Amino acid sequence: MSPTMIAPVMEEENKKYQRGVKHLCDNGLTKVPTKYILPEPDRPIFTKSDKLIKSKQNLKLPVIDFAELLGPNRPHVLQTIAEACETYGFFQVVNHGMEGDVSRNMIEVCKRFFELPYEERSKYMSTDMSAPVRYGTSFNQIKDNVFCWRDFLKLYAHPLPDYLPHWPSSPSDFRSLGARYAKETKEMFEMMVKAILESLEINDRDEAAEELEEGSQVVVVNCYPPCPEPELTLGMPPHSDYGFLTLLLQDDVEGLQILHREEWVTVDPIPGSFVVNVGDHLEIFSNGRYKSVLHRVLVNPTKPRISVASLHSFPLTSVVKPSPKLIDEQNVPKYMETDFATFLQYVSSREPKWKNFLESRKIHYVR
């Protein structure tokens, strides 16, 4: 075919993938299309017989019991949080106060959203990174060369009254269940911020605490359909989260992996728990003490998976910098000041990969 013939064909092919993985799978699929096949070094490691090369490594993350955090054992729990944030960048939370119904209903209504006809879901499709509601596929569907096996719905959630009217009106109970979930997650985040600041020995009446209370919240619903050849692709490529903290609710299907001591390890889902992880902004704020750790998502051949990530940070207009309380002559700032506008510009201008945004904010001292 001459190059002039290839271009329209490719464009037509690309358009098909822009509609997302769910749409692709609904039409029946036995092989992963080339668009989703990662270069060999980036693939998850499976042997030819579809077994993991090493015995599969699952990781039990440190578990924080929220009820204990609020009791006489608080100092000990704070110590566990500090160690988890330093060593793993991740921990799990149980007894967090959110009723089982609230989280189960959220997962369930999100499932029903992704089961709606494509025409209904696609009403929320947008390439504008700052749209209050955005339905899409892959990681950055404009820039990604290889697509990942994921569709998503991104909802701005704070202040809720500003955004709720933009949220999907179908399924009819989406807004009410989603709003309850977003509100309760925000409360959980606020308790978590108090604990995190205390673990860094920063007073919780710190200016940062106030800013975080009025900060941004984005709820991202991830949908990973079953994949016929999971060894060739990923649900999400290795990335770190850009906010302060992410609170992740998973259904009972595993898939999340974190990079720990240079190995990918799978996080064991604990039913009803939340996985909490340090984002880039907390790494910067803690001047590098707490780590924003790379993570990725595996897909599997049989089970669809849904997760709901609630990303929390400072207000969109705030400047993020190492806390002045942690800086002195011995502890020089390791990161430049940064803001959301810079971040959004950064991610929309290139393929977001690894931790390159955070790397770009590091100060390299010449001795």
Peptide bond into 159 cis (omega under 30): yes
Secondary structure of 81-141 in the HEC alphabet? HHHHHHHCCEEEEECCCCCHHHHHHHHHHHHHHHCCCHHHHHHHECCCCCCCEEEEECCCC
Closer residue to ligand OGA in complex, CB, 309/358: 309
Q: How far apart are CB 15 and ligand OGA at their closest, in Å?
A: 25
Secondary structure of 179-232 in the HEC alphabet? HHHHHHHHHHHHHHHHHHHHHCCCCCCCHHHHHHHCCEEEEEEEEECCCCCHHH
250 binds, among Ni ion, ligand OGA, none (CB under 5 to 8 A by kind): ligand OGA
276 lines the binding site for ligand OGA (CB under 6 A):
no
Tokens 């509601």 map to which residue? 133
CA distance 348 to 17: 19
Distance of CA 175 to the CA centre of its chain: 21
CB 297 within 8 A of CB 234: yes
258 binds, among Ni ion, ligand OGA, none (CB under 5 to 8 A by kind): none
Q: How far apart are CB 224 and ligand OGA at their closest, in Å?
A: 7
CA distance 154 to 132: 8
Q: How far apart are CB 144 and ligand OGA at their closest, in Å?
A: 15
Of 22, 158, 281, 295, which one interacts with ligand OGA (CB under 6 A)? 295
Site string for Ni ion, 199-238 (x = CB under 5 A): ----------------------------------------
Closer residue to Ni ion in complex, CB, 215/255: 255
Of 241, 251, 254, 280, which one interacts with Ni ion (CB under 5 A)? 241
Binders of ligand OGA in range 210-269 (CB under 6 A)? 220, 222, 236, 241, 248, 250, 255-256
Q: How far apart are CB 45 and ligand OGA at their closest, in Å?
A: 19
Closer residue to Ni ion in complex, CB, 181/242: 242
Q: How far apart are CB 210 and ligand OGA at their closest, in Å?
A: 26
SS3 271: coil
CA distance 320 to 339: 6
**Helix (H) or strand (E) segment spanning residue 4:** helix 3-18
Binding site for ligand OGA (CB under 6 A): 220, 222, 236, 241, 248, 250, 255-256, 295, 297, 307, 309
Binding site for Ni ion (CB under 5 A): 241
